[in-house]
Amino acid sequence: MKIRPGAVILSLFLGGLPAGALQTQPNVLFIVVDDLNDWVGCLGGHPLVKTPHIDALAQRGVVFTNAHCQAPLCNPSRTSVFLGKRPETTGVYGLQPWFRDVPELRELISLPQYFSRNGYRTLATGKVFHGRFGFRKVDREFDLTGPGYDDGPYPEERLAKLPGRQNRGNDWGVIEGRNEERGDWKVASWAVERLKSLPPEPVFLSVGIRLPHVPLFATREWFDLYPDDESVLPFIRRDDREDTPLFSWYLHWRLPEHRREFLERARQWQGQVRAYLACISFLDAQVGRVLGALRAAELEENTVVVLWSDHGWHLGEKGVTGKNTLWEESTRVPLIFAGPGVTPGLSSATPVELLDIYPTLLDLCGLPARDDALDGISLRAMLEPGGVSRVRPARTTAGPGNQAVRGERFRFIRYADGSEEFYDLSEDPHEWVNLVEREELAPVIENYRKWISRTFAPPVRGSAGRVLEWKGGRPIWEGREIPAGAPIPGLERGDR
């Protein structure tokens, strides 16, 4: 039954009904984190990281330790999750456009819209879609929205001292003030208040946490959790890129993120890594506040919780910081389910995709399946002991023709120019040695090649921001051809 939005808002402000009253289907708490890689305790991505609240959620549910995004970039990744379609299906590869501005995609039913059409009240706060999409006055993705994307107040001057002109948003350091002034705190607070008094219908509540997206600002208490020394740095190999194709550089050609060598020369690499860790612990605390409110409202038993990140993030591995690559640091993400229909304390190393969230939530909540419209697979069977595992590898796409295929043991990468990489992560978890020329692995590599998508939709009209194309045998980065023999930006001089 469709209830007028005004009635929902009135119910929220007047106190609603007792938790669980009149509900026959579970609520959904949908937590999405921005730029969070596998540096989470339950994933073992960094030995020093402190994420007690996310780890507790993993213990209360199922954690997928081999989950991967469909695109190593915010807008295409989130578009893929919310539409249930791969980037090579939609043609959304860049930071622009918003998919509702694409005529061919405008009428597709997003995940929250489908829940709304099936009797749920949909609420959202924070960075859920890319940027402020979904929160504008003209957007109709949710029934009720709270605070949207918010970096929080910037310091008057840059905190990270770097030579040359720098992107103002790509900064990090200890910031003055109170935690309550930060954008993610306000987002969590709005969600906490909504959980205190829900409407009678089941609720789909989306909570988007911006950190650890740059700028990496946090108050002193979060930095104090981590030593200010080299122990925070990830393991690297300085000749790591010698056996990777030149085309691998084109995926992250000219970006505001820095090359590791530049940060090392400026003596800022350690500071950036420590700031990233500090921001992870701050975001974990906000997740804890929301989960605490869920528990206090006695809603845990009737709420499906899913926590995920849109893509990973390099902190110096492969010589770069940031995303936009097809290696493990950029594609591997947290993915946790908890609540009704989910067995506590399970862990799965089967490769899964963020695409699988849409069909899995429909399955858990008893909503009609959309098998004809979704590219993902329901993971419900894997949320129970002995359930049948997903039977295909995970694929990540970084622009037309560039794709990684991740199995339980191996990663295969094919670039648009035909160059390739192959890694055995059981023996080489850092992906330091490209094995693509090893003859004894030829049959295995050929099997992985078969999973590369056969067709890639061209970039949709209005595509912009980190879009790489291969046209006429030449790489085109953000609309401009990369000249043959061009020096790699950031490596030929002391800046980008």
- Catalytic residue selected from 42, 53, 68, 74: 74
- Is 365 catalytic? The answer is no
Report phi then psi at 192, rounded to 5: -60, -45
Give the residue ranges of DSSP H helices in 403-455: 442-449
What is the CA 5 to chain-centroid distance, rounded? Answer: 30
Place of tokens 């800046």: 495
User: What is the Cα–Cα distance from 6 to 400, expressed in whole angstroms?
Assistant: 44
Identify whether the C-beta of residue 347 lies closer than 8 Å to the C-beta of residue 43. Answer: no
Listed in sequence order, the residues at least 6 apart from 349 whose beta carbon sits closer than 8 Å to its beta carbon are 65, 66, 408
Instruction: Return the closest-CA partner of residue 29 out of 279, 202, 213.
Output: 202
- Is 130 catalytic? The answer is yes
Instruction: Return the closest-CA partner of residue 467 out of 401, 420, 414.
Output: 401
DSSP conformational letter for 136: S
* Angstrom distances, CA of residue 251 to CA of 93, 119, 125, 263, 384: 12, 42, 31, 20, 38
Region of 455 on the Ramachandran plot (φ > 0 left; ψ -120 to 50 alpha; else beta) = beta
Identify whether the C-beta of residue 423 lies closer than 8 Å to the C-beta of residue 433. Answer: yes
- Catalytic residue selected from 46, 53, 68, 130: 130
Catalytic positions, written as ranges: 74, 130
